Structure 1
């Protein structure tokens, strides 16, 4: 009787430990899902920034093309030529800055994509662990029920004595 009680207590302890581990795994899973959501939002933000920068790049290229066309057509006076040259230099600098910014943004986007893949793999691994813990929990639950039934049967047979 004492051994059965000890075994029952041991099984209860194991079941409680399994439940605790399962809850911990679920907590980690939620944390990873939140991190993935944040990374998705960051990707969306960076994608939007890339779009804005590409639009600015197109505008800058259009301005540059317009300025060059104006320079070819309008060599009417030296002051106009000097002004256009300054505008072209500024536009080229803006273009260089925009291109650099686009490259940096694309690199950040790539890094975020790599991190997102890493977190997806982690989530898959955590989900697999969770599934394993759930299976172990179900097995322990079955063992617990079986042990409890045996204990109840033993108690019933002892009452008959």
Structure 2
């Protein structure tokens, strides 16, 4: 009978130990599930941030493309304006040359006219 009592006592102790281990394992599982839920929320938050950053990147990329096109258009306009300025500068130089030439001719004609008028007055 003592052996049965000892055996029952061993089984009870073993059952208590198994129950304690099971309780501890359940607590660890609960903690791990809580940790997993927390990490999943963290991952979801990070995914949301990634999505927002991607959208912002797409908007920024579109804006960069738009600004690049505007820059190209401005560069083209600048080049055209510079060519036109060079052309106008050439025309100005040519007109100044012609003015100087005509001024000289005018002076020559005026002097000749004055000589002629003086000559006529002397007559």
TM-score (norm 2): 0.67
Aligned partner of 1:94 in structure 2 is 28
Alpha-carbon distance, 1:156 to partner? 1.0
Describe the superposition over 1:21-51 as per-residue Cα deviations: whole angstroms up to 9, x where unpaired: xxxxxxxxxxxxxxxxxxxxxxxxxxxxxxx
Aligned partner of 1:105 in structure 2 is 39
User: Greater CA radius of gyration, 1 or 2?
Assistant: 2
Equivalences, count: 87
Give the Cα–Cα distance (whole angstroms) in 1 for the partners of residues 51 and 11 of structure 2.
59
- Greater relative contact order (CA < 8 Å, ≥ 6 in sequence): 1
Give the Cα–Cα distance (whole angstroms) in 1 for the partners of residues 10 and 45 of structure 2.
51
Which blocks of at least 5 consecutive residues in structure 1 are unaligned?
Answer: 1-74
TM-score (norm 1): 0.52
Give 4+ residue runs of structure 1 displaced > 4 Å after superposition. Answer: none
Q: Please show how residues 23-38 of structure 1 align to structure 2 within 5 Å.
A: none
Alpha-carbon distance, 1:77 to partner? 1.3
Alpha-carbon distance, 1:92 to partner? 0.3
Of 79, 85, 93, the residue aligned with 1:145 is 79
Which blocks of at least 5 consecutive residues in structure 2 are unaligned?
Answer: 1-8, 96-123
Give the Cα–Cα distance (whole angstroms) in 1 for the partners of residues 29 and 71 of structure 2.
61
